[in-house]
Every structure is written in structure tokens, then in C-alpha cells.
Chain A
Amino acid sequence: MTTSVLYDAPGPRTRRRTLVGSVLAGLLVVAVLAVVGSRLDEKGQFSAEKWDPLVNPSSDTFDQVWNLLGGALVNTLVAAALAMAFSLVIGTLLAVLRITASRWYRWLVVGFIELFRGVPVVISIFFAARVLPTLGVDLDNLWFLVIGLTVYNSVIIAEIVRAGVNSLPTGQREAAESLGLRRAQVLGLVLLPQAFRAMLPALISQLVVVLKDTSLGFIISYEETVRTAGIIIQNLGNPIQVYLVVAALFIAVNYGVSRLAVYVERRLSRGKKAAATLSATDPAGAGAGGGG
């Protein structure tokens, strides 16, 4: 952040001005927080009665609440994991289909992908839960959620994988073909493994999207975190506190996953740089060059 496009390294006068601005901005932030806090306090939002079930282990509902939330979090993670796994498989198949399709049916694959990319996830989940039972498909709500999420995300992943394959140097394909590999081998042995490697950060980021979208399970009464939070709130009457905890859970999980994506991206680009220069330049300098 030391080298910004927008401004030079500050001189003494600018530094003084920045300091004044910092103090003013800091005061403003504190003032806003104080107003919000005092209003919440007026309404009794900091009362023990509202917080105890969540933070006080000796409260009689504490164990019950956390058992519910823990189970719900597991349900959320299970749905996300299943949806991600299916999306990866189907998405890769779709990408391969789109890359290898001959002209007379490629429009069909492209049309399919564009169609499902334009449909909101809520609608595809709702569609699965409402339409499939009328067609005689009787499944748990978990599976309706997973199907809805998979329909949407497999299309996104297909596009990510295709972008990955397209980003590879053409020499890779040419070299593989000149070795006499068949089309399937070129894709399976040479292009896809590299595409997955290049697109790993994007795929991990997609996991964050899937995790957030599992919360839509509440619409079809799947007992994931948000739905369970609603049930707890009906009994205890403390929506702000419970949703604060739920938000913290989601932010913690998703922030961890996004950091993982950033870490993988750094590692991948570092590997590429090292391969390009063919020399291990300063191993200790990793921290110095760590600009955003």
C-alpha cells in the first residue's frame, strides 16, 4: 500500500493533514457506533436475558441453543460440500462438452450454460423443491437444496474451467497433439490438469458463494443455520443477538476460505515466477514484496 496510484509519498504538511483527518474520521466512527449502541441499549438489546442463552454457559438454554446451532452448521457444511462436489463433476463435464463439441450441437451446450447462468439460485432451489415432487421425485429437503445449488454452480464452474483451458498457451495443446495424443488424452492429461491448477483460486472462491447460498435452504425449510436461527428466535425472542452470532459464524468460515484462495493464488504465482527465472531469488524477501 506504500505505492498508491493516487498520491505521492506524503511530506510533513500532508502527514499533518492526514493525522487531523484520521482523528476526525476516528471520532466520527466512534460517534456513529456510540449512537447505535445507545439506541440498542435503550431498547434493552444488551440485556442478559437476550444474550445469556448465547454466551453464558450456566444459562439453562445455552446447551440447547448451541446444540441446535452446531447441528445446523453441520447441515450447512454438508449441503455446501455435496453441492460443490456435484458441481465440480458436472461443471467439468459441461466444460469438456463445450470445448469438444462439434459445431452442429455446440449451440445446444452454450445455450444450456447461458440459460442456467441467468436463473437466480433461489429460483432454481425453489423450482427443485416445488416441481420435482410433482414429477414423482420424493427426496429430502437436503437434496432439493443440493440439486438447486448444483444446477446453478455447475454452470459457473464449467465457465471457470473453460476459462482455465483457454488461458493456457496454445503450445501446450500443439505439443500434446504432435506427440500423437488423442483428443481426449490432450484434454485429460495435458489441458485439464493445468487448467484446474490455474483456476484453483477461482474454484475456492466459488466455494464461498456456495456456502452463502446454502442459507437459501431456509426457503424450503431445510434445517441449515439461518432456518435454525429462525426457530431459536421464535422461542427466545432475541433476533439481533442470534443473527449476530450466525453472521459471525458465516463470516469466520467464509473469511477462512477466502484467505485460503488468496494463499493458493500467491503460491501459484510464486511457483510460476520461480519457474520463469529458474533461480531461487531471495527466499527471505517474501514478506517485503507482499503488496496487495
Chain B
Amino acid sequence: MNVILDNFSLYRDGFLQTLKICALAAVGALVLGTVVAGFRVSPVPPLRWVGTAWVTVFRNCPLTVVLFFCAFGLPEIGVNGAYFWFGVTGLVLYTSAFVCEAVRAGVNSVPAGQAEAARAVGLTFGQSLTSVVLPQALRTVVPPLGSVIIAMIKNSAIVGAFGVGGDLFAVGDTLTSARGEAALPVLTGVVLGYLAITIPGGLLLGLLERKVAIAR
């Protein structure tokens, strides 16, 4: 286990880089996913089609292929940037489809009678959305959204495998292939790094789930 202690700063930087990728991608995916969910429930047919196509494509395509597309395709349509940003973009696009489905399921889980009652007492669309539908939808959405984000944190290792540079996966790769360290202790350290994020995340989610749970 000396490898981990000897390279502790490397591991720490990798851990922080993974956190950075995850934080950026989580914000992006939540925003984009909610927008796409808005498309999918909107009364305007072309927007619904775009939303459906978006979800079908990104849910059924492996993240690796999405990442390759970002790396090779974006420069061709005039979007240039560092590989880091292509990696984050790929993760955002991929995760947004799952966020969209979680949000949409939450909105649909609100009984139609709630919105009908809101309209019956004269609330406008905006009022019924913000003070009746969304508060109820958010409670149902929180647990699945949490699972989506935890899955995204695990998927960030795939972004690392693309050589975006410096995250936990890259640390494991560098130490084992470039420096020829023994694989078992090095990768155990990497696994511990991910578990340090995912296990507390899962526990937190469980707590949150119990807190927002509502009996219908």
C-alpha cells in the first residue's frame, strides 16, 4: 500500500479533478435535462419531437460513442476547445437524457386532479406550475435524480479513460502503465477514491429520500 502513500498528492489531485468534472457536468446536465424535459411536456409538437429524439439518441448510445462524437464532431462544426471541455460536454449530453426522464416522470406523477383543482380556483398556468405542480413533482424527482447523478459520477471515470487528464482513472492508468507500479495496490487506491464519493452520496440520498417521502 506504500504506492498510495508515496503518490498521495497525485491521488489527491486526481480526486479533486474527478470532483471538478462531476460538479461541472452535474450542473450542466441538470439544467439541460430540465430544459429537454420542458420540451417533452410542452404543447408545441416540434419541441416534443426534439425532446423525444434527444432522449432516444442519448439514452441508447454508449457514453464512449458520445464522447468520440464530441472529440471528433464538435471541431468540425466550428466548436473548438480543450479536450477537458469535450469530455465534460459528452458527459452533460449523455446524463441530460436521464435527468430529462426523471424530471418528466416526476411531473407526470402529480395527479391530474391537482392541476385541475389549481385551475378551478383560478390560478394561472405559471401559478399552478410553481405553487402546485412543481413542489409536488420535485419530491418524487429527488430520489431518481440522485441516482442519476451518482451514476454520472461513476461515468466520469469513462471521461477519464479518454485521457482528459488528471482524474482518478488517469492516475491509476499512469501509475500502472507508465510507471509500472503493481496494479493491485494502485487500483485499490483508485477504487477507494471513487467509493469515497459514491458511498457517502448513496447514504445522503437515502436520508434525503426518507425526508422527502410522501404518502400518496
Q: Which residues of A contact B (CB under 8 A)?
A: 3-8, 10, 14, 18, 21-22, 25-26, 29, 35-36, 39-40, 43, 45, 114-115, 117-123, 126-127, 130-131, 134-135, 208, 212-213, 215-216, 218-219, 226, 229, 239-240, 243, 246-247, 250-251, 254-255, 258, 292
Contact = CB atoms under 8 A, between A and B. Distances in A.
B74 to A, nearest CB: 10
Contacts of A219: 161
Interface stretch (B6-14, B28-36, B63-71): B63-71
B174 interface: no
B17 to A, nearest CB: 15
Given A29-B50, A114-B199, A39 B77 contact: yes
10 contacts: A5-B108, A5-B114, A18-B43, A25-B50, A114-B199, A118-B199, A135-B184, A226-B68, A250-B60, A254-B59
Interface in B101-120: 107-108, 110-112, 114-115, 119
A292 B48 CA distance: 14
A6 B61 contact: no
Contacts of B191: 119, 123, 127
Interface string B135-177: 0000000000000000000111110110000000100110010
Q: Secondary structure at chain B's binding surface: helix, strand, loop or mixed?
A: helix
B98 to A, nearest CB: 11
B3 to A, nearest CB: 13
Contacts of B61: 212, 247, 250-251, 254
A253 to B, nearest CB: 8
Nearest to B114: A5
Given A212-B63, A215-B65, A5 B133 contact: yes
Given A40-B76, A131-B183, A213-B62, A120 B194 contact: yes
Contacts, number: 156
A258 B58 CA distance: 13
Given A215-B62, A243-B69, A25 B187 contact: no
B64 A215 contact: yes
A12 B38 CA distance: 23
Given A127-B187, A255-B60, 15 more contacts: A5-B111, A6-B41, A18-B43, A25-B46, A39-B77, A40-B77, A119-B194, A122-B160, A127-B191, A215-B62, A226-B62, A247-B65, A247-B69, A250-B60, A251-B56
